[in-house]
Every structure is written in C-alpha cells, then in structure tokens.
Amino acid sequence: MVTEDERRVADASRERLAGLAGPFLSRPGVTWGRMFSTEGLGVRGKIFAVVTHVGDLMAKVPEARADELVADGKVTRMIMRGREMREWVVSPADADDAAWIALLDESYAYLDAITPGG
C-alpha cells in the first residue's frame, strides 16, 4: 500500500516529469498520457518513461545499458510482481533533473530506434 508521503512524492514527481517533458513532446511521435496507472511519455504508442507509484522515474533502456547503469549505482532494476525487468530501470525521486533528463534521452533514443515507423 502506498503511504501518504509516497503519494505526495509521486504527485510531485509527476509534475516534475511533466515539466521536463517539453523537449520530448516536440519530437515526432512522442505523446504524454496515462500508462501503468500513472502518467508518462511514449513514442509511437510505446512507453519509454513513467513515474512509479512512489515517485521514482522508470525508463526503458537496452539490457546492456541497464547493466552498466545499475553497476554504476545510478539506477536500480525495476521489479514487477517479484520479477526483475531486464530493460526497465528506476532513477530515484531525489535524483537531480540532469540525471532524469539523461535517462529520458537514452530511453527515448532506444524506443525511437526499435519502434516501427521511426
């Protein structure tokens, strides 16, 4: 269950992501909308970044890059239903904007490259 504090952090993180989304929304095929019961960014219908229920940024990157980012301590693997996701990583809510933007850039580039129509 999500605590009231986690809910406040998540709300602030969604607002933060919305504020960082502008440059991405100007790119072809990028949209903002509800995904995974939260809000985030997608490209041509494929999700590339959302805010988790506790306010962290979850983004999709290539598995090898996820390994590097985790090893560097910059992110953790996303765990869904007890299973570690190979390509989904989580940047903490308290990471700075530069860290979130860098992860958003990588995630967008990856999904743009692998999503048909790009």
**What band does 117 get if pLDDT is binned at 50, 70 and 90?**
confident
Give percent of the chain with pLDDT exceeding 90: 91
Residue 4 tokens, joined? 């009231």
Q: Find where tokens 């598995």 sit.
A: 63
**The CA-based dihedral angle spanning residues 16, 76, 83, 21, taken in that order and rounded to the nearest 10 degrees:** 20
Condensed to tens digits (0 to 9), the pLDDT of residues 78-100 reads 999 999 999 999 999 999 999 99
pLDDT value at position 35? 76
pLDDT value at position 65? 98
Tell me the whole-structure pTM to 2 decimals. Answer: 0.94
User: From 3.30.450.20, 3.30.360.10, 3.90.1150.30, 2.30.30.790, which CATH number describes the 4-112 domain?
Assistant: 3.90.1150.30
Q: For 23-113, where are the E strands, in sequence order? A: 30-35, 38-43, 46-51, 57-60, 76-80, 83-91
